[in-house]
Amino acid sequence: MRYISTRGQTAPLGFSEAVATGLAPDGGLFLPEQLPDLRGRWPGWAGLSYADLCFEFLRLFATDIPAVEFREIVRRSYTKFARTEIAPLRRLANGLYVLELFHGPTLAFKDFALQLLGNLYERQCRVRQETINVLGATSGDTGAAAIHGLLGKPGTAIFILYPDGRVSPLQERQMTCTGAENVHAIAVDGTFDDAQAALKEIFGDQDFRVRHRLSAVNSINLARVLAQCVYYLHAWLHLSAAEQAKVEFVVPTGNFGNILAGWMLQQMGVPISGFKVATNQNDILYRFFTTGDYRVGQVAPSLAPSMDIQAASNFERYLYYRMGCDGAKVRAIMREFKTNGGCRFTELDRGTFTASHCDDGEIPGIIQRVKQAYGYIVDPHTACAFRDLNPQRVNIVLATASPAKFPETIQSATGEVPVDPSLEVLKAKPVIKHRLPATAAAIRSFIEAHAV
């Protein structure tokens, strides 16, 4: 299987090369040259464990890694989850399920992809006999999950920038209390945008990037999207035939990465009835799927901070398919988006996608209502997905984070303080963070001193 860019101006690459490259050189995102047809394959997959299903699915894409080795990599990627089911599907009521994606090491769904990506990076180092320095900026969950994906891995170092004082105390502890020598959590004096701007400048320095074999960790890596397809398939396979026929996945959405994975699985032949894009008050995707207008606004910080996004980077992958796989059309749209801050589409995909949005004022009430109705506590991101469910469908709500990561919001909504043992352990550990100004020069010299 080869991988092409959404902008059509990059020569196709193999799986490992596309994963190591991240963003395509023409500025686009990698996608499989053709999507495999899964029809006829899944009857043999229904009884598999999560890791074995993941292997069977991903081997269709990772065709350049020997199967025995790849199976071992995939199995190892799901050993740090706190539940044997890995992604438990909990029934709350008739026709209503929660797919719990928060039992990984950082208690958010990003672990599903980043545990695997860390192992793929490690393999790449071994095969090429090179070291790699991974660099990223985070407003919370991605940084923590990336750090836990690379923790202690030989040949790698990871540098994560975050805005000092602006990530939650527990998220900061997940990044700074690991004790691992290859992890560098950098608290920059500035906002997330300042951190991102410094990072962009560093990646723009071709010589520096090549010299330190820098790789970016962000939400657009091909391996992340593919790894995320698996929990949709795993959940769907666990339903009765009657339920399978009317499933709607309801997905708390920011960068469109999670929901895109589900949609791609549908494109591979799995008959999923629909997807609901559930946004918080930063609702560019809600506006797009209800009006066809895709237009950036100002980011308004919310109680569901991992969805505080205006331009959804993975949306470009969806656009590519909607534009009939025409890279030239994608380039034109992205150009228009960049110059005008938006574009308008006339044809909506109403058959497949519906959308909802949820203001901050509504989130505590939803948390309280869900607890009263089902005796179940959802985190503020997952709460957005309960905004308005379609009673004609079997709803599977993706629970993207553990409520224990957001004790203040949950306490004010329900009076209870959710706890998770892994977070309690962190509270006793020393915080190791480096404070730096949010300038490319300061960060560059820090990397210079600590790179592997």
Ligand X SMILES: *Cc1c(COP(=O)(O)O)cnc(C)c1O
- Cα–Cα distance for residue pair 352/276, rounded to 1 Å: 8
| 401 near ligand X, rule: CB under 6 A | yes
110: annotated active-site residue? yes
**Least Å distance between CB 328 and ligand X?**
27
28 binds ligand X, rule: CB under 6 A: no
Q: Residue 261: name the closest of 107, 116, 81 by CA.
A: 116
Q: Does 306 bind ligand X (CB under 6 A)?
A: yes
Q: Which of 400, 407, 413, 420 binds ligand X (CB under 6 A)?
A: 400
Catalytic residue among 110, 153, 371, 405: 110
**Cα angle, residue 362 at apex, residues 93 and 142 outer, rounded to 5°:** 85
Please state, in angstroms and rounded to a whole number, the distance separating the CA atoms of residues 170 and 254: 21
The single residue among 7, 71, 110, 148 that binds ligand X, judged by CB under 6 A, is 110
Question: Total residues contacting ligand X (rule CB under 6 A)?
Answer: 16
Closer to ligand X by CB, 182 or 400: give it: 400
Using rule CB under 6 A, residue 262 touches ligand X: no
Site string for ligand X, 130-149 (x = CB under 6 A): -----------x--------
Least Å distance, CB 447 to ligand X, is 25
Query: Would you say 215 or 219 has its CB closer to ligand X?
Result: 219
- Tokens 């992890």: give the residue: 183
Strand arrangement, sheet containing 183-189: 214-216, 132-137, 156-163, 183-189, 434-437
Two tokens at 211?
């010299």
387 binds ligand X (CB under 6 A): no
Q: Is 403 in the site for ligand X (CB under 6 A)?
A: no
Applying CB under 6 A, among 139, 258, 354, 409 the residue interacting with ligand X is: 258
Output 229 or 307, the one with its CB closest to ligand X. 307
Q: Which is nearer to ligand X, 287 or 444 (CB)?
A: 287
The span of 77-85, 113-121, 152-160, 249-257 binding ligand X (CB under 6 A) equals 249-257
DSSP secondary structure string, 72-115?
A: HHHHHHTSS-SSTTSS-EEEEETTEEEEE---STTSBTTHHHHH
The 215-244 contact track toward ligand X, x by CB under 6 A, reads ----x-------------------------
Question: Residue 215 in contact with residue 118, Cβ under 8 Å?
Answer: no
Which residue in 307, 410, 440, 447 binds ligand X (CB under 6 A)?
Answer: 307
Contacts of 25 (CB under 8 A, 6+ apart): 5, 10
**CB closer to ligand X, 182 vs 402:** 402
Task: Provide, rounded to whole angstroms, the least separation between the CB of residue 211 and ligand X.
Answer: 31
Beta bridge partners of 135: 159, 216
Q: 136, 149, 163, 254: which one contacts ligand X (CB under 6 A)?
A: 254
Nearer of residues 110 and 212 to ligand X, judged by Cβ: 110
The DSSP-derived string for 354-385 is: EEEE--GGGHHHHHHHHHHHHS----HHHHHH
Quickly list DSSP for 137-193: E-SSHHHHHHHHHHTT-TTEEEEEEEETT-S-HHHHHHHH----TTEEEEEEES-HH
Among 20, 24, 108, 394, binds ligand X (CB under 6 A): 108
33: Cα within 13 Å, side-chain hemisphere: 12
Which residues lie closer than 8 Å to 275 by C-beta, 6 or more apart? Answer: 248, 249, 250, 251, 259, 262, 263, 266, 352, 353, 354
Identity of the residue, 21 or 306, whose beta carbon is nearer to ligand X in the bound complex: 306
* 356 contacts ligand X (rule: CB under 6 A): no
Window of 73-81, 190-198, 248-256, 344-352 that interacts with ligand X by CB under 6 A: 248-256
Of the pair 70, 263, the CB lying nearest ligand X is at: 263
- What is the rounded CA–CA span in Å between residue 229 and residue 270? 11
* 282: enclosing H helix or E strand: none
CA 278, chain centre distance (Å): 15
Q: Looking at the annotation, which residues are catalytic? A: 110
Residues that bind ligand X (CB under 6 A): 108, 110, 141, 219, 252-258, 306-307, 381, 400-401
